[in-house]
Amino acid sequence: MKALLLIGDGMADRPLKELNGKTPLEVAKKPSLNKIAKNGICGIMDPIAPGIPPGSDTATLSLLGYDALKIYTGRGSLEALGCGMELLPGDVALRCNFATVDENMVVLDRRAGRIENEDAAKLTESLQEVKLKQSSDVKFFLKNTVQHRAVLLIRGSKLSADVSNSDPLKIGKKVLEVKPLSDSLAAKRTAEILNELMLKFHEVLKEHPINKKRVKHGLLPANVLLFRGAGSAPIMKPLSEIYSVNTACVAAMPLIRGTCKAAGMKLVDVNGATGTPQTDFMAKAKATIQALKDNDFVFLHVKATDAASHDGFFKQKIELIEKIDEMLDYILDRIDTDNTYLAVTADHTTSSITKSHEGDPVPVAITGPYVRSDDVEEFSERACAKGGLHRIRGIDLMPILMNLIGKTKRFGA
Amino acid sequence: MKALLLIGDGMADRPLKELNGKTPLEVAKKPSLNKIAKNGICGIMDPIAPGIPPGSDTATLSLLGYDALKIYTGRGSLEALGCGMELLPGDVALRCNFATVDENMVVLDRRAGRIENEDAAKLTESLQEVKLKQSSDVKFFLKNTVQHRAVLLIRGSKLSADVSNSDPLKIGKKVLEVKPLSDSLAAKRTAEILNELMLKFHEVLKEHPINKKRVKHGLLPANVLLFRGAGSAPIMKPLSEIYSVNTACVAAMPLIRGTCKAAGMKLVDVNGATGTPQTDFMAKAKATIQALKDNDFVFLHVKATDAASHDGFFKQKIELIEKIDEMLDYILDRIDTDNTYLAVTADHTTSSITKSHEGDPVPVAITGPYVRSDDVEEFSERACAKGGLHRIRGIDLMPILMNLIGKTKRFGA
């Protein structure tokens, strides 16, 4: 028996007036998702706890069965793992955004107009030249990933992830000074190093020819690097050890890949999987089918639905749900459904109105040879709420799936 | 007001292809169980937590309102209590199986052909003669219970329940060496004693006339004693103290009786209650009716449904559910339903396909004078999932019942 877990990032939503009080999932044509709901058992799920808006990292930790409230230190470390950086005990890693500020360091765009990978790569290359003052024992490593996204890792003695963000998380606000969040010398030292790097990066970026070219072409310059989510290496028992399973992750986003890597999963590389609405859905489908041949558990993640929600593009979100549905149809036609359990869900609700992650629960549906199917016939937030799973938590999903494939250990005699 | 809790051990199941996608509960004729569901409030229940397959011991602890994750040390101590052995602080008790091994100590049958009580008793008597080497301060006590089941208790200074099983739990595997599971000297010493006993018991058993006779009659010899589930005395506040109630347990299985005894319950002895499919259901019914006269809370447990599931006998399971239903009918006719709440459930799901305890939830129904009845009309896994109790945990059931009979204490002003 095998299990496949398909996650539509931020796929759940709230009812929209613009959709006559329906959610994008309710409006989308999604015969395959509905088939899973109809043949399977459905419910709603609080990724962390009722009302708590999760990040994609904490939600993914939960959906993999880990207690995010206990083990999560910050997204930076998971991003670092996800983009292939080496993460040693003591290292501190941060998620970065190439962003646009005015002359007063007020943020005009947190994503520098969703800068293309090529430009971000050239800027990153130049930033490698920056030198930290004194003969510091601290080294930094910077890597750009998808569009405006990058990871900064600092290595040296006495560093701490207990530091605040420089990213104000909103446009119209000034870039923040990084502050220590504990009284430790390590936190103070780490904050100082990050503030120094922020200013030195800004000096290089604001004069950079790439940015001058961008402005000339009417594009926003990436003249600052915003830091957030400082984290250290998470302490997690691998899934292979907890459940005696071989596992693989099919995902494009470094944050998701890093979370899966921290869980000891194999990362599948897929050409054309970009984490954007233009991602190659069918390439991911094919990689998933292949991964299911060699593994007991495969985690398939699609980012695009979340990105559309953050931009408030609910019509695009509907189209992307329909693309996920086509991808699912392709997969369903090619896997051994007599021996495979398939779960479909979202990692969190992202509202196309607030353009933010929200704490509303997500729909979940599980199909497979021996599930106790219910009466639900549609995969959506409200239809699944009537299902036989009732309301579970994210952390319950993995034991439920592993139980179905006979991989949970008995507690007691 | 009084409360009766009826447990069908492993009564819940998964949908079976052989039953056109229905479960044994869904197929069985069960007018009385359905009456409880129809008149009462229903739901599903995770005995421990979603997806976690419980043992009957941990599940029973939960159903009695205890946090099994915190207090459970191993089934051995509960088995010892259940078969009337004295269990002192510091004692270590183990559940044993009379089993059949070949000349290489490979297990051929974990139950020695479900050996009859009489043969097991004679073998047990001979094993009492075994002497531990040196002038060890350790004493052992061995008691056979039902069929192949027995309990070994060791007493002495510096013993520990932190030891592994010699029972490989699968046929075709060799008997395992008992190993210490912690660094303590006590664990090491306990493992050594158990390994010595295992070998000495084997020496006696393999030459025993009873076994020679068994082989001559084409029966499997009980030539080894497999140990598992080492446990020490559990620390539990009695139910009488938690809820100010008088309680009684009607159960045949030593493990269940021991768990109830650990909760401070009176154990009712019932002639003809055997824990097998041939148990005297009506004798148990009568004992329950009597116990309800003298107690506020009675726990009635039927093992047979679980045994049938472990053997994959789903047709027998259906028949046994129908016998439970007849027993329930008899009880319903003879108790004061105006003053009695009655809850029906299973302690866990046992799949007739995998022949194992599974982590799927169980159905639960509660009837009585003031329950908020719902629309459910059938007692089954899927029908109860639509009920007004929604999805609860095993540990919630006892407070729910005690609340209905006015025995929970207010928390707050």
CB nearest A412 (choices: B68, B381, B386): B68
Per-residue confidence (pLDDT) for residue B133, from 0 to 100: 85
Strand pairing class (B297-302; B247-250): parallel
Residues of A in contact with B383 (CB under 8 A): none
Residue of chain A whose alpha carbon sits nearest to that of B74: A412
What would the pLDDT profile of A62-111 be if each residue is shown by its tens digit? Answer: 999 999 999 998 999 999 999 999 999 999 999 999 999 999 999 999 99
Identify each DSSP E strand in A294-379 by its residue range.
297-302, 340-345, 349-350, 357-358, 362-367
pTM of the model: 0.91
Interchain pair B50, A409: CB under 8 A? no
pLDDT beneath 50: ranges in chain B: none
CA B370, chain centre distance (Å)? 31
For residue B61 the two structure tokens come to 């602890």
Distance from CA of A408 to the nearest CA of B (A): 7
Q: pLDDT tens digits, residue range B265-309?
A: 999 999 988 878 888 999 999 999 999 999 999 999 999 999 999
> Quick check: B48 and A372 CB within 8 A?
no
Residue B272 has a pLDDT of 86
Residues of B with Cβ-Cβ distance to A372 under 8 angstroms: 14-15, 23, 360, 381-382, 385
Helix (H) / strand (E) element for A394: namely: helix A394-404
**B chain contacts of residue A408, beta-carbon cutoff 8 Å:** 51-53, 359
- A368: nearest CA in chain B? B15
Name the residue among A372, A390, A413 with its Cβ closest to that of B55: A413
Angle at A264 between CA A263 and CA A266, to 5 degrees: 120
Closest CB to A413: pick one of B44, B255, B382: B255
CB contact under 8 A, B50 and A371: no
Question: For residue A271, what is the enclosing H or E element?
Answer: none
A412 touching B, CB under 8 A? yes
Which residues of B are less than 8 Å from A398 in CB distance?
51
- Contact B297/B403 with Cβ under 8 angstroms? no
3-state SS, chain B, equals CEEEEEEECCEECCCEHHHCCECHHHHCCCHHHHHHHHHCEEEEEECCCCCCCECHHHHHHHHCCCCHHHHCCCHHHHHHHHCCCCCCCCCEEEEEEEEEECCCCEEEECCCCCCCHHHHHHHHHHHCCCCCCCCCCCEEEEEECCCCEEEEEEECCCCCCCECCCCCCCCCCECCCCCECCCCHHHHHHHHHHHHHHHHHHHHHHCCHHHHHHHHCCCCCCCEEEEEEEECCCCCCCHHHHHCCCEEEECCCHHHHHHHHHCCCEEECCCCCCCCCCCCHHHHHHHHHHHHHHCCEEEEEECHHHHHHHCCCHHHHHHHHHHHHHHHHHHHHHCCCCCEEEEEECCCEECCCCCCEECCCEEEEEECCCCCCCCCCCCCHHHHCCCCCEEEEHHHHHHHHHHHCCCCCCCCC
Chain length of chain A: 413
CB B79 within 8 A of CB B93: yes
Measure CB to CB from residue B52 to each of A371, A389, A399 and give the nearest one: A399
Residue of A nearest to B51 (CA): A400
Suggest the residue from B358, B362, B384, B390 to mutate for an interface test with chain A (most A CBs closer than 10 A): B358
| Interface contact flag, B391 A391, Cβ < 8 Å | yes
For A135, the token pair is: 């003969």
Residue of A nearest to B69 (CA): A411
Distance in angstroms (rounded) separating the CA atoms of residues B153 and B233:
11
For CA atoms B353, A387, A52, A169, give the dihedral sign: positive
Which residues of A fall within a CB distance of 8 Å from B165? none
Minimal-distance CA residue of chain B relative to A398: B51
CB B178 within 8 A of CB B158: no
**B358 contacts chain A (CB < 8 A):** yes
Four-residue CA torsion sign, A299, A61, A144, A327: positive
What is the C-alpha to C-alpha distance for residues A13 and A69, in angstroms, rounded to an integer? 24
CA of B204, closest CA in chain A: separation in Å? 28
Residue with tokens 């531990």: B132
Residue A134 pLDDT: 67
Kindly report the backbone phi and psi dihedral angles of residue A55, in degrees, each rounded to the nearest multiple of 5, phi listed first. -80, 165
Chain A contact for B258 (CB, 8 A cutoff): no
Q: In this complex, do A412 and B354 lie within 8 Å of one another by their Cβ atoms?
A: no
Q: Does B351 touch chain A (CB under 8 A)?
A: yes
Question: What's the gap in Å between the CA of A249 and the closest CA on chain B?
Answer: 22
Q: Which of B57, B360, B385 sits opposite A412 (nearest CB)?
A: B57
Size of interface A-B (CB pairs under 8 A): 91
Residues of B in contact with A412 (CB under 8 A): 54-59, 68, 72, 75
Q: How far apart are CA A65 and CA A63, in angstroms?
A: 5
The answer to whether the Cβ–Cβ distance between A411 and B52 falls below 8 Å is yes
Question: According to the model, what pLDDT value does residue A5 have?
Answer: 98
**Beta carbons within 10 angstroms of residue A5's beta carbon:** 22
Residue A6 token pair: 């398909």
CA distance B243 to B260: 15
* Element at A398 (helix H, strand E): helix A394-404
Cβ–Cβ < 8 Å for B18, B316? no
Identify the closest residue of chain B to A396 by CA–CA distance: B50
Nearest of A253, A264, A325 to residue A296 by alpha carbon: A264
Within 8 A by CB and 6+ apart from B48, the residues are A411, B54, B58, B59, B62, B68, B69, B393, B394
Interface confidence, given as ipTM, is 0.90
CA distances from B206 to A303, A360, B214 (A): 64, 64, 11
Question: Which residues in chain B are contacts of A401 at CB distance < 8 A?
Answer: 51
CB B52: neighbour CB atoms within 10 A?
A: 25
- Across the interface, whether the CB atoms of B51 and A372 are under 8 A apart is answered no
User: In this complex, is the C-beta atom of A374 within 8 Å of any C-beta atom belonging to chain B?
Assistant: yes
Rounded to a whole number, what is the distance in angstroms from the first to the last CA of chain B? 24
Residues in A closer than 8 angstroms to B391, CB to CB, are 389-392
| pLDDT tens, N- to C-terminus, chain A (413 residues) | 999 999 999 999 999 999 999 999 999 999 999 999 999 999 999 999 999 999 999 999 999 999 999 999 899 999 999 999 999 999 999 999 999 999 999 999 999 999 999 999 999 999 999 999 865 789 999 999 989 999 999 999 999 999 999 999 999 999 999 999 999 999 999 999 999 999 999 999 999 999 999 999 999 999 999 999 999 999 999 999 999 999 999 999 889 999 999 999 999 999 988 878 888 999 999 999 999 999 999 999 999 999 999 999 999 999 999 999 999 999 999 999 999 999 999 999 999 999 999 999 999 999 999 999 999 999 999 999 999 999 999 999 999 999 999 999 999 98
Here the tokens at position A232 are 């250290």
Strand duo B349-350 + B340-345: pairing: unpaired
* Nearest beta carbon to residue B357 from set A388, A390, A410: A410
Mark yes or no for CB contact B360/A374 under 8 Å: no
A1 to chain B, any CB pair closer than 8 A? The answer is no
B341 to chain A, minimum CA–CA distance in Å? Answer: 25
Q: Which of residues 46-65 of B touch A (CB under 8 A)?
A: 48-59
Name the β-bridge partners of A203.
none
Residues of chain A contacting residue B50, judged by C-beta atoms under 8 Å apart: 392, 396, 399-400
Which of A364, A372, A392 to mutate against chain B (most B CBs within 10 Å)?
A372
Residue B72, token pair as written in the block: 């459970």
Nearest Cα to B115, choosing from B215, B2, B245?
B215
Put simply, the answer to whether B55 touches A410 (Cβ < 8 Å) is yes
Residue B155 tokens read as 């007493």
Could you say which residues from 90 to 149 on chain B have a Cβ atom under 8 Å away from some Cβ of chain A? 95
SS3 A314: helix
In this complex, the residue of B21, B74, B385 whose CB is nearest that of residue A388 is B385
Q: Which of B72, B351, B385 sits opposite A412 (nearest CB)?
A: B72
